[in-house]
Amino acid sequence: MIGDSTMANKSITNGNPERGWGMALQGFFSDDIVVDNHAVNGRSSKSFIDEGRWQVVLERIMPGDYVFIQFGHNDEKPKEDRHTDPGSTFDANLAKFVNETRSKGGVPVLFNSVVRRNFQAKVEENDDDEKLRNTVFTGEKKVEGNVLVDTHGDYVIAPRNVASSLNVPFVDANKITHDLEEGLGPEGSKALHMWFKPGENPAIPKGREDNTHYCVYGAHVVAGILVDEIARQVPSLKKYVRHYDFIVAADGHGNYMDLQKAVDEAPERAKTTIRILNGEWKRPVVPKNKRIKFSVSENAKLFKK
C-alpha cells in the first residue's frame, strides 16, 4: 500500500487513537494475504517519489503482488515539494506507479481519496492536513447542512481517468466514503474521525477537531467497506476477504488491544467471532451467556491457561 495519512500506519504511543484505514486492513483478510503498508503521513504522489519511498516499494514488489495506490489529499496542497496538478503531473505520477508495478509483475489497483468530513457550504481553507493534529476542541457551533461538500475537485477524477486509460482496477473510495459520511450526517460522522471533546480520550486531554484523520472506529469502518469494493474490483482477492465481529491485535492494527476487553464487550447470547491478529494472549474468561468463537491468526498465540 502506498498513500498518505488517511491510509498510513500510526504510532500507538501513549494510547494514540489515530489510525489510517490501511492500518486496519489486515484484519479483513485471511492469513493468505499479507498487508505491507508503506503509506506515510503528509505525502503526495510527488513527495513519495522524490523522497525515495516509491523506489523502496518498487524493489520489494514480487510477481503477483498487488499494489494499492491512493494519493490526492496532499497533491492538492500548495507547497512546491508536494503539489501536483490533475490532468498533468498528478496523472503522470499515478501512471508511473502503475507502469513500474507492472514491470515487476505486480498488479496495480488505483484508489481516489477518501472524503474529508465537510458539511459546510464553504470549504474551509487548509494548507496542511497534518496541522489538524494541533487543533483542540473549541465547542464552536458551525453552520452545517446535511449534504457533504466536496473538497478534492479534480483530484478524485484523475485516478479514475488513469485507471480507465491504463486498464487498471479502480476503487472509488471517494464515493464510498462520501455515502458513508453523508448517511451518518454531520453529528454521526464525527465518530469516524479524530473528533474528541476535552477529557473524552486520555491521549488527547484538550480534545481535537479533525475532520480528515480517522480514529480506531473510523479506520475499521472504512477498511470494512473498502475491502468489499476491493473484492468486487479485484475478484481474485474476494475469497480471502473476512469480516469478524472484533479484531484484537497487540500492535494496534485491530479495534481492540485487550482480548479480555473484547470478550467483555461482546453481546450476550449472540454468536461473536473474535479475530486474534497478533500477539500472545492467555485464554480470557468467557461468561456462559456469551457464544464466542476465536479465530487465531498464524501470527498470534492463544494459550490454554
> What span, in angstroms and rounded, lies between the C-alpha atoms of 94 and 99?
9
Catalytic residue chosen out of the listed positions 213, 220, 253, 297: 213
Nearest to 108 by CA among 122, 97, 119, 93: 97
Opening angle at CA 111, ends 27 and 121, nearest 5 = 105
Q: Clarify whether 5 is annotated catalytic.
A: yes
Cα–Cα nearest to 255, from 276, 229, 280, 228:
276
- The dihedrals phi and psi of 272, each to the nearest 5 degrees, come to -130, 125
Q: Which three cell numbers stand for residue 59?
A: 524493489
Is residue 213 annotated as a catalytic residue, yes or no?
yes
The question of whether 47 is a catalytic residue gets the answer no
* The one catalytic residue among 5, 44, 45, 113: 5
Q: Residue 39, CB half-sphere, CA atoms under 13 Å: how many?
A: 30
Segments in 134-274 forming alpha helices (H): 158-166, 173-188, 216-233, 259-265
Rounded Cα distance, 181 and 158, in Å: 22
β strands within 145-289, DSSP E: 170-171, 193-196, 208-215, 246-249, 271-282
Contact present, 16 and 243 (Cβ < 8 Å): no
Tell which residue, 81, 71, 52, has the closest CA to residue 7. 71
Q: Is 298 exposed, middle or buried (0-12, 13-18, 19+ CB in 10 A)?
A: exposed
State the catalytic residue, choosing from 18, 76, 181, 209.
Answer: 209
Residue count of the chain: 305
Residues involved in catalysis: 5, 209, 213
